A and B are shown apart, each in its own frame.
Chain A
Amino acid sequence: MAAPDPASYLPLPQAQLQVLVALTEGDKHGYAIMQDVERSSGGTVRMGPASLYGTLKRLVEQGLAEERPQAGDPDDDQRRRYYGLTGLGTAVCEAEVGRLADLVRSARRNLRLRTT
């Protein structure tokens, strides 16, 4: 069976992209993902518990993320579930970031043209 084309998942909903970007740093549990999303968005994106786990559920269903065995910290609550990116998730994240970068480049060029 052919590997799915990452471009077929684009454009990604913002919440999914935010979570995928948070997971690019490594496997994380829900609260860590929530904090990362808030930090990386400058406090503008503040997910609630159900929004976060609804997003994680969709990412797992699409094969972009998966549940992982708990990463190293023995002091951490053993009941926490950790999530990480799959290969496909990494590829989709890269494709979406590339798409947005092209968009930003195009917008900046056009805005510079308008002001000159």
Chain B
Amino acid sequence: MGRRPTRRMYRALLHLYPRSFRDDYGDDLVALLDDLCAGAGTAAAWRRTAVDLLVTVPRYRMESVMSEHHSDTAVVVGLTLLVTGGVLGLLTGVPAGLVLLPLAAALAVVRRSALARSLRTTAGGRRHRRLVTAAVLGVVCLASAASYLVAVADPDVSGASLVLHNAVGVPTMVGALAFLVAGRLTPRTPATAR
């Protein structure tokens, strides 16, 4: 394999790494592969590089996920799941579900700084916030829709339960769609420099 296809292929594979690592060291990595090919031969260089990719991609991705920005996102995801579970509990009358809403409130209080950071204007700005809100409402809507389908299949379901399902499902569906459209229509802001 010639040098240029080797460089192109490795540069494409570098997209597996977190962007910050790629931006900082991408050129050095490609140059080092060139040196390896010149010194040890292309096959040997690629064998070493393939093992390197298998070992380092998951590790560096995990380290990136554990960074502050991504742990803030994890708090939002965790809260969404707790709220969804709590709402489902309310709709289906499962007592355990009622524990989840206070847990969500406790998490929001304990990690309020992480929550505030993730809701603050980020590199994606208002567009990002609107799309995240649409995603959160969408998850709650889907959960209540699934619960509604289970409820209507029950011949003994009460009218009040169906009204409650609609009271949760319809606003969250409308809200998710509204935020999705608003988010898609909001222009992207340039990423902030590091």
The interface of chain A, by Cβ under 8 A from chain B, is 30-31, 34-35, 46-54, 57, 77, 79-81
Within 8 Å by CB of B49, from A30, A48, A53, A54, lies A48
Distance (whole angstroms) from the CB of B29 to the closest CB of chain A: 5
How many residues of chain B get a CB closer than 8 Å to chain A's CBs?
23
With A48-B51, A50-B17 known to touch, is A30 a contact of B32 (CB < 8 Å)?
A: yes
- Does B27 interact with chain A (Cβ within 8 Å)? yes
With A31-B35, A57-B21 known to touch, is A51 a contact of B28 (CB < 8 Å)?
A: no
Within 8 Å by CB of A49, from B52, B57, B60, lies B52
The docked-state distance in angstroms from the alpha carbon of A77 to that of B34 is 12
Given A49-B32, A57-B21, A57-B25; 17 other pairs, CB 8 A cutoff: A30-B31, A31-B31, A31-B32, A34-B36, A48-B52, A48-B53, A48-B56, A49-B29, A49-B49, A50-B17, A50-B21, A50-B29, A50-B56, A50-B57, A50-B60, A53-B28, A54-B21
Q: Do B56 and A79 touch across chains, with their CB atoms under 8 A apart?
A: no
Within 8 Å by CB of A50, from B27, B39, B52, lies B52
The docked-state distance in angstroms from the alpha carbon of A80 to that of B32 is 9
- Does B132 interact with chain A (Cβ within 8 Å)? no
Which 6 A-B residue pairings sit nearest by Cβ, starting from the closest?
A48-B52, A31-B35, A50-B56, A49-B32, A53-B25, A49-B29
- Does B24 interact with chain A (Cβ within 8 Å)? yes
Q: Do B56 and A30 touch across chains, with their CB atoms under 8 A apart?
A: no
Please list 27 pairs of residues, one from A and one from B, whose beta carbons are closer than 8 Å in the complex, sorted by A's number: A30-B35, A31-B32, A31-B35, A34-B36, A46-B48, A48-B51, A48-B52, A48-B53, A48-B55, A48-B56, A49-B28, A49-B29, A49-B33, A49-B49, A49-B52, A50-B17, A50-B25, A50-B60, A51-B52, A51-B55, A53-B25, A53-B28, A53-B32, A54-B21, A57-B21, A79-B27, A79-B31
The docked-state distance in angstroms from the alpha carbon of A46 to that of B85 is 49
B-chain residues with CB within 8 Å of residue A77 when the two chains form the complex: 31
Chain B window 94-119, contacts with chain A (Cβ cutoff 8 Å), 1 for yes, 0 for no: 00000000000000000000000000
Within 8 Å by CB of B32, from A46, A52, A57, lies A52
* Chief secondary structure at chain A's binding surface: helix
A-chain residues with CB within 8 Å of residue B27 when the two chains form the complex: 79
Q: Do B28 and A30 touch across chains, with their CB atoms under 8 A apart?
A: yes
Q: Do A54 and B60 touch across chains, with their CB atoms under 8 A apart?
A: yes
Distance (whole angstroms) from the CB of B119 to the closest CB of chain A: 29
The docked-state distance in angstroms from the alpha carbon of A37 to that of B35 is 15
A-chain residues with CB within 8 Å of residue B52 when the two chains form the complex: 47-51
B-chain residues with CB within 8 Å of residue A79 when the two chains form the complex: 27, 31
